[in-house]
Amino acid sequence: MLKGEIPCFVVEEHHEVILVWAYLIKNGLVKSNRNTLLHIDDHSDMSVPFLDTSIDNLFDKNYNLIKSITYNQLGIASFIVPAIYLGFIDQVSWVKCGVQKNTSYEMYTCSLNGNGKDLMLGKAREDLLQKEFLDLKTFIFNRLDIQGLLTKECRNKNILLDIDLDYFSSIENPQNEIKIQITKSEYLNFKDSTYHPLKFEVGKIEVSHRAGKYYYIINQKINCSSRRKVDFETIDNRIDDLVMAIKRKGLKPNGITISRSRYSGYTPIDQWQYIEQELLSKLKEIYEIRSYHISDLHQMINENEGITV
């Protein structure tokens, strides 16, 4: 057993970890800079967000502002780059099943003219690094399989363990059906227009007329299989392999976050509970963990109280 109690927060969707990290910083449980993110996920989540406002010094702001930006401006695949931009993370080790070749790059992020909102991301180049960007941050990005995790050295000992349940079994392209009521004129406009803007902006969209009402149907459900959804035996093996690798490497994270990814549909609806239960059980065999749900954090924000960890 690795000694020392570790806070573990279960979130529903992955961008909510920004709130967790803010809480951990504000309560002195993790450093505010130069952390290594061990990102266990079927996806890199390294997209650049489209921000309306500057996020400079975001973790110094009040929780309500951080919460608003998290839910209104960040997405489930665009929360890591802001954390790097803020200096909170300087190494990302992304562990994914089925990686063909382990790779490592030095990368950068900064904002356009130092405005703190138009973020940019790319591989670091010597000519770029010699230029004077007001807010340039460089970081190491590793893409690894579970064996690569064992051999890759961490840049520092300030580890954040971040796990998405879809690492263990995943739906490649979840189809969450959305129905939006529209006017008759918009219904006819969509049907009659070959070049309606929504036909290019939304993956799969149709219109429907039912009982005198008109609707957009986005991502109408179809039965399709996912090559990345696996059976329960494979899930068990992946959990065992991950926990064993973490134990062998002697990693002791300062904080753990676990994303269910069930509402977005990336973790299979018939497997997420089993994966979460088994994963937490195995982690508790090597760590002393105090577990919370994101709702506990929301309560703390609303009541302006701390959770003692």
Lowest mean pLDDT among 61-75, 118-132, 152-166, 265-279: 118-132
Query: Is residue 289 in a domain?
Result: yes
Answer whether 55's CB lies under 8 Å from 49's CB. no
Confidence (pTM) = 0.88
Residues 6+ apart with CB under 8 A from 82: 18, 49, 51, 55, 58, 74, 119
Residue 40 burial (CB count, 10 A): 27
218, 246, 280 — which closes off a domain?
218
What pLDDT, on a 0 to 100 scale, did the predictor assign at position 134? 72
Q: What pLDDT band is residue 309 in, cutting at 50, 70 and 90?
A: very low
Q: What pLDDT band is residue 299 in, cutting at 50, 70 and 90?
A: confident
What pLDDT, on a 0 to 100 scale, did the predictor assign at position 175? 74
Answer whether 70's CB lies under 8 Å from 98's CB. no
Domain range for 91 is 2-172+227-303
Both 146 and 284 in one domain: the answer is yes
What pLDDT, on a 0 to 100 scale, did the predictor assign at position 226? 79
Tell me what percent of the residues of the chain surpass a pLDDT of 90.
73
Residues 6+ apart with CB under 8 A from 302: none
Both 22 and 130 in one domain: the answer is yes
Query: Is residue 309 in a domain?
Result: no
Q: What pLDDT band is residue 1 in, cutting at 50, 70 and 90?
A: very low
Both 94 and 143 in one domain: the answer is yes
What mean pLDDT value characterizes the chain?
90
Tell me: the pLDDT tens digits for 66-79?
999 999 999 999 99
Both 46 and 189 in one domain: the answer is no
Q: What pLDDT band is residue 184 in, cutting at 50, 70 and 90?
A: very high
Q: Among the ranges 165-179, 204-218, 265-279, which has the highest mean pLDDT value?
A: 265-279
Both 161 and 195 in one domain: the answer is no
Tell me: the pLDDT tens digits for 112-139?
889 999 999 999 876 666 666 778 899 9
Both 233 and 117 in one domain: the answer is yes
Query: Is residue 150 in a domain?
Result: yes
What pLDDT, on a 0 to 100 scale, did the predictor assign at position 307? 44
Both 61 and 200 in one domain: the answer is no
Query: Is residue 101 in a domain?
Result: yes
Closest to 61 measured CA to CA, from 5, 19, 14, 113: 19
What pLDDT, on a 0 to 100 scale, did the predictor assign at position 176? 77
The per-residue b/e assignment along 281-298, b for 16 or more CB within 10 angstroms, e otherwise, is ebbeeebeeeebebeebe
Both 204 and 269 in one domain: the answer is no
Both 195 and 287 in one domain: the answer is no
Both 74 and 202 in one domain: the answer is no
Tell me what percent of the residues of the chain surpass a pLDDT of 70.
91
Query: Is residue 308 in a domain?
Result: no
Residue 153 belongs to domain with CATH number: 3.40.800
Tell me: the pLDDT tens digits for 210-260?
899 999 988 776 656 778 999 999 999 999 999 999 999 999 999 999 999
Both 212 and 231 in one domain: the answer is no
Query: Is residue 85 in a domain?
Result: yes
In the predicted structure, residue 191 carries a pLDDT above the cut 60: yes
Tell me: the pLDDT tens digits for 15-38?
999 999 999 999 899 999 999 999
In the predicted structure, residue 58 carries a pLDDT above the cut 70: yes
Give the count of domains, the chain.
Answer: 2
Both 285 and 197 in one domain: the answer is no
The Cα–Cα gap between 120 and 109 comes to: 5
